[in-house]
Structure formats: C-alpha cells, structure tokens
Chains A and B, each alone.
Chain A
Amino acid sequence: MISRFTRRTFLKSTAVTAVSAGLPRFAAAQGNTIRIGFLAPLTGPVAAWGKPGLDGCMIWAERINAAGGIKLADGSYQVEFVSYDNEYDPAKARTGATKLIREDGASFIMMLGGDTWPGVQPVADRTGMLFSTLLPSDLSPDTTTLIAPAEVHPIYNVTGVEWLAENRPELQTAVICAQDDALGLPSIATYLAAFEAAGIEMQDDPLLFDPATTDFAPVVTRLISKSPDIVCLDTCYSDYVHPICEQLFQQGYKGQIISCTADFYDQIIAKTSREFMEGFVFQFPDFDDPALNADHINFVDPNGFYAEYNKRHPGQWGAVSWEYASIMDLWKAAAEKAGSADPDAVAAAMKEGGKGEHAFGTADWWGTELFGIDNALVGDWPVVAIEDGKATIKEFRSIPAWYAKHGDLLIKHMTAYDQMWNQRG
C-alpha cells in the first residue's frame, strides 16, 4: 500500500513499461512514435496563445513525419502531439501534466506558462520532465527542467521601442496600458525601461485594468487625455487589443501605436481603417515575409509553413502559430544530437556550448541576472510594422546588444514591479 512517487520511481516505472513493450529505449518512444505533450489554453480568453500553436505543431509534425521522422540512435520515430486544454488554470495544468507524463508517455511538454506553471512545477520536479514555456518570467533557479527557447517575453519588446526611437525621433511622449496580470506586469516594466533608454517621456503612470474589463472606452479616454505621441498596448491579449484599437480610432487618436502583439490584425483593420493602422509597430511577423528567407533564419521553409497554415486555418495566424513549432525544431535537433528522447539527454544536448539555433538566428542561453538561470534562448528579434494593411518586418534587432547597454534600467523597472526572480512568489 505504500506509495511514493519520485523521479526514481517514475523512471523505473517507465523503464518497466519500455521493457514490457519490448522496446530498448525510453518509454515515451512507444512503438515508432514519440509523443510530445501540448499543455496550453485551447479554450477561454487566453486560447489565442494556445490553439494556433497547436495548429502549427500539427503542420510541423506532418512535415517531419513525411520527411522520415526524428532520427534517434536506435532508429527513426514518427512524432505525435497529445494536447490537454488547461484553460489557463494551474489546477487543470497540474492534471494535464500528470496525464501527459504518466498516461500518454510524453517525452517533452510545451506550455504557454504564466499562471499555469506553478501548478505544474511540483510535477516537473518529481518526474524530471523537460518543459518549455513562452514566458521566461516562469524561470527561476529552481526550474531546472524548464526552458524558454522560443521567445523571451517580454524582453524582446525593447527592440520595437528602440527601432521607433531611431526611425521616428519626433515621437517624444508615451502612455501605456495593460491588464493587471502575470503577462501584463513584466511587460510594463520592460516597456518602461525601453522608453527610458530611448529618451521617451512617460506622461502618466501605467494604466492597469482588470482582466475582466470589457468596456474600454473609459480606459482609452484616460489614456489619450494628454495627447501622447505614442500609445503602448503592452502585452494585452487580443481580446483587449482589438477593442482598445477600436476605441482609439473612434475617439480620434492619430498618433503612433506600439504593441507586443497584433493577432488577427486584419480584423482590427476591418473594424478601424487601413490608414489608422498604418505604421502600427509590433513584434510578431507573418511568415510569408521575404525577410524570413535570409540565411540566418533557422525556421525551415517559413513561407511554405505560413501558406499551409493559412490554407487550413484561414485568418487564424497569430503570434504563437509558429512559436511552438520552432521549439520543436530545437527539440528535434537536440534529440537527434543526443540520439535519445530522454528529457535529461535532450536538455543537455540543447544547451551544449551555450548556444542554440533559434528561429531568428543563432542565440545564447542566457538569463542568470533576470531569471536566476540561463534557460532562456536570446538573440535577434524582428520589429514588425503594418504597411498598407500588411505586417512587414522592418529590421531584426539584437536583444543582448540592447541589454548590454541598458540592462540596469530593465533590472530597475523589473525590481519596481516585483518581477525579478527573487521577488516572485
């Protein structure tokens, strides 16, 4: 009757399963299939940062499987995604992690992160499973099996502000708003650091609104009351970006808008106007952009991927459509290098030499100062602007280069918002 589930018993039990199945390697590689867990919100208000990612992964899996699968030391394996909708709830995320590891035999689990990671962390600690997050603010010295290999949210937002300051120096004042949650606050701190570094004056304290807000008219009225040159939408969910843009349009705002994301921007244009959205700066490109065919880009066939995605899910392309797939590129390369799908072996291969092949170029494993651990992959990031109704990459900018110059500002503002790793929780 004595039951104690530890990392050791997990490995033992999976090994027993593997032996009983007549397989020489890790249990997760069942038959000729490797299972990858997808643990993200697929329904609810945060689904826009989960569901498009799963759709992208399905395309990625078909392409990889058609090309012969993942080649490990003992042969080739097909890849299969197993999803669990965590509804952005830590309790459901815990249940999902348990299912994906202990029932589905996943070799690697991708998450959105944020509020859901603390619910999963005890499961990760016990099992030693390798997890990925899109939100490196989940990282801390304790999260040794958690990596942030796709985006270093919200640090890359500094590139948009830096580009704006260089290309439109007449913009001198800014205001910022965000939902008051785990995504909004670190992003606020980052934008404040970026604006300060660029010499752009903040007209007011950041306007934090409750995530349950549905009427953005008063938010926008207050936001533009001092006629700012720039309105920054921080890392607002698309459910907020759309109505805020509508309100900015209706209330006659004519200045610059900058945002982390502009998911489904064609719908924003339809609700406002092409002229109003002209020059809108954000950070997530459409993958049909010719700039993504440059030699330093590691994402395989981005234009073909985008075309296939739009064929299957017209009008659904968003910030995360490619990100989980790009994590899989990195995972596949590491698994093939290690010759194994074992989480420890893959993690070691991934971080070997301190560099990794990020979607937008070779990048460094970084983060000790901000996150307490070097588990975030940081390199170049694109600055995107809407031109004639279409997202266009203006430039790739280096996040480490900005941090080398202004890192102290970022730490100052992160500390002010209690977002440093040693202040969280």
Chain B
Amino acid sequence: MPRILFFALGLIGLVALPHALSFSQQEILVFLVINVLLVASYRLLTLTGEWSLGHVVIMGVGAYASALFSKNLGIYVPFAMLLGGMTSALLAVLLSFPLFRMKGFYFLIGSFAAGEIIRLLWKRFRDPFGGAKGIKGIEPMPDFSIGVYEFDFFEPISYYYMSGAVVVFCLWILWRIERSPVGLTFHAVHWQDKLAEASGVNLRAYRTLAFSIASGFAGLSGALLAHYVGTINPNSFDVEVMVFVLTWAIVGGTATFYGPILGCVVLTILNEIVLRELGFEQMRPLIYGAIMILSILFMPKGLESIVQRLTRRTPVAAPREKVAE
C-alpha cells in the first residue's frame, strides 16, 4: 500500500511539475526526460560489463531513421518513432558480430570506431542524410485533442506529457527486464562469465541481446528528440555528447536502476538551470568539470550511494536485548 501511494504521489508530481516551471525550464524538462531514457538504456548495456562509446550514435540512428521514415516515406510520426527504435536495435544486432569479438577496453574502442563510421556515413551521403547540415524540417508529432486537453506539440508541456508517458513505460520495461531471469543472466555474464558459460549460457547471445535492447530504447529516445527539435545533424550525436552520458552514469552510479537517472537529473539541473541562473553561464564547463572530479574523489560509488545511505534500514536492536534478558 505505501508503495502504491508513493507511485501515485510521484505520478501526480510529474504531471504537476511543468506547471511550476518557467517556459525555458519546461523546454529543458523535455530534453531531460529524453535523456533519462537514453541513460537508463545505457545502463542495461553496462549490466553485461560492456561500456560503449557508440551509444549516442545509436541514438542518432533512431533519430535519423525516424526522421527519414516520416519525411521521405510519409509514415505517421508515432509509428516512425517506433521504427526508428527498431532500426537502432537491428543495427546493434549487425554491429554485434564484429564488436562482440572484443571485450572490455577493446569493445569500448571498437564501439567508438563503429560510431564514428556511422557519423561519417551521415556526412558523406548527403542524400538521404543531409550531409554535415543534417536533416531539417522534420515532421513534428501531429497535434490532437482528448477533449479536456489539446496536445499542441510545439508546446513543451504537451511534448513532456507525451514523451514522459513513453519514457515511463520504457523505464518500466527496462526495469522488468532487469528483474527477469534474462536480467539476472546479464549480471551473471558480467560478474561470473566463466561460471555462466559452464552452465550453458551463451555469453555472446546475451551480450547481443542487451546491446540490441539498449540500442532500441536509445533509438527511441533519438526519435523523440528529432521530432521535437525538428532538426538533427551528425554533430548532435558526437563523442562530446557521449561524454555527458558517461558522466551521468558515473556520477549517478550504475549499481542501481535509478543511479544513472539520478546522475542525469542532478547534473542537467546543475548545468542547465543552476549555473545559468547564478550567472556562471560562460564558466559552466569549468565548474561542471570541477564538480565531476570532486564527486569522483569524494563519492566514488556515485550519487546513488547517498540515497542508499539515507534509505538504509537501521538494524533493530530490541529483539536481541529481549533474548539476552
């Protein structure tokens, strides 16, 4: 019962949240929600022990695919978004053949190289990818009305509600996957790979599965971004953006489901709202970097460790005393 109450209050809070924010903060909220899905999907990949430097490019694959499906083939935007996610997942399956011949650091570098090849292809082939300028005038999500509320997707509130619902649903799926036997196997692939292999687990198949699921959700987040901003270009998905995703995951911590999400939320608010409002707009990279270094030095287990400390139940001493009596 308290858990249902907690979720109900959380839901009410999420619905009310944009109304307490300024217009620009509502815009930031939309991008934050999209990035939450991106970083949560990234964590699924890290469950198998592999860290990729190509996740943002995979997000871009979903964005480009969805934009092209809707713009060139006239596919209805929500379906184009789903197809965008599926394209990312499919590409991940293809990439898994060369990439999962590597492990650890080599996989990291291999994923970076694969990502750069994809980015260069976007630049090289102006038709259909638009070259360096990318794709402009991407179809927006079509407006609709549900009687009491008219969804005008130019407005950040409307897009927040739509993307928020999609992201919450995706997070629930990701959470269920992690809690399922498949998710437990992902953990085993990471921590007990020899034992898992000896037990008949196909390590490569499970790594591929995690990679493709994570990529599918990353692609969906890219599609959500593309149809809101209306433009994408290869620089929107470069390694600099990937560094932000890594930062969110590292500062938040990857031991729990909520760790990277916490990192994403806290660092985005800090970078996009707090530092700008305090008048440190041009010093943000410096301050952001300093905070990152400090958090790694003094909080090596990430922000999630603070939450764990706060929510840890203290051992009840009374029964032992009773026994002693």
Contacts and interface: CB of A to CB of B under 8 A. Distances in A.
Interface stretch (A72-80, A86-94, A388-396): A86-94
A210 B233 contact: no
Interface stretch (B147-155, B187-195, B200-208): B147-155
A126 B143 CA distance: 15
Interface residues of A, number: 40
Contacts of B158: 3
Nearest to A119: B229
Contacts of A4: 150, 152, 155
Contact of A5 (B148, B154, B282, B285): B154
Interface in B106-155: 120, 123, 126, 130-137, 140, 145, 148-150, 152, 154-155
Contact of B284 (A2, A43, A83, A103): A43
A94 B239 contact: no
A98 B26 CA distance: 10
A188 B228 CA distance: 31
B230 A119 contact: yes
B238 interface: yes
A265 B196 CA distance: 61
A281 B231 CA distance: 35
B132 A119 contact: no
Contacts of B169: none
A184 interface: yes
A138 to B, nearest CB: 10
Contacts of A404: none
Contacts of A115: 133-134, 231, 233, 235
A236 to B, nearest CB: 14
B148 A1 contact: yes
A90 B148 CA distance: 32
B225 interface: yes
Contact of A99 (B24, B150, B155): B24
Given A115-B233, A211-B235, A182 B24 contact: no
B22 interface: yes
Nearest to B158: A3
A425 B24 contact: no
A85 interface: yes
Interface residues of B, number: 44
A185 B132 contact: yes
Given A1-B149, A98-B23, A103-B22, A425 B225 contact: no
A91 B229 contact: yes
Contacts of A89: 236
A180 B230 contact: no
B197 interface: no
B281 A83 contact: yes
A85 B282 contact: yes
A85 B231 contact: no
A210 B154 contact: no
A211 to B, nearest CB: 7
A423 to B, nearest CB: 9
B178 interface: no
A332 interface: no
B28 interface: yes
B133 A424 contact: yes
A42 interface: yes
Contacts of A2: 145, 149-150
Contacts of B233: 90, 115, 182
Nearest to A51: B282
A180 B23 contact: no
A425 B136 contact: yes
A1 B152 CA distance: 11
A414 to B, nearest CB: 13
A122 interface: yes
B24 A96 contact: yes
B31 interface: yes
B218 interface: no
B157 A418 contact: no
B154 A126 contact: yes
B123 to A, nearest CB: 6
Contacts of A339: none
Contacts of A44: 285
A111 to B, nearest CB: 14
A121 interface: yes
A126 B153 CA distance: 12
Nearest to A104: B24
Contact of B27 (A1, A95, A185): A95
Contacts of A211: 235
Interface in A323-371: none
B150 A95 contact: no
Given A3-B158, A42-B281, A212 B23 contact: no
A353 to B, nearest CB: 32
A44 B229 CA distance: 21
Interface in A2-25: 2-5
Given A3-B152, A3-B158, A180-B123, A118 B137 contact: yes
Contacts of A296: none
B276 to A, nearest CB: 8
B32 to A, nearest CB: 11
A181 B22 CA distance: 34
A102 interface: yes
A90 B27 contact: no
B154 A95 contact: no
B282 A184 contact: no
Residue from A5, A95, A184 having most chain B Cβ neighbours under 10 A: A95
Interface of B: 22-24, 27-28, 31, 120, 123, 126, 130-137, 140, 145, 148-150, 152, 154-158, 225, 228-231, 233, 235-236, 238-239, 272, 276, 281-282, 284-285
Interface of A: 1-5, 42-44, 51, 83-85, 88-91, 94-96, 98-99, 102-103, 115, 118-119, 121-122, 126, 180-182, 184-185, 210-212, 418, 424-425
Give the 3 A-B CB pairs with smallest separation, nearest first.
A425-B136, A118-B231, A99-B24
Given A94-B229, A122-B140, 9 more contacts: A90-B231, A103-B22, A103-B23, A119-B231, A121-B136, A180-B123, A185-B132, A210-B120, A425-B135
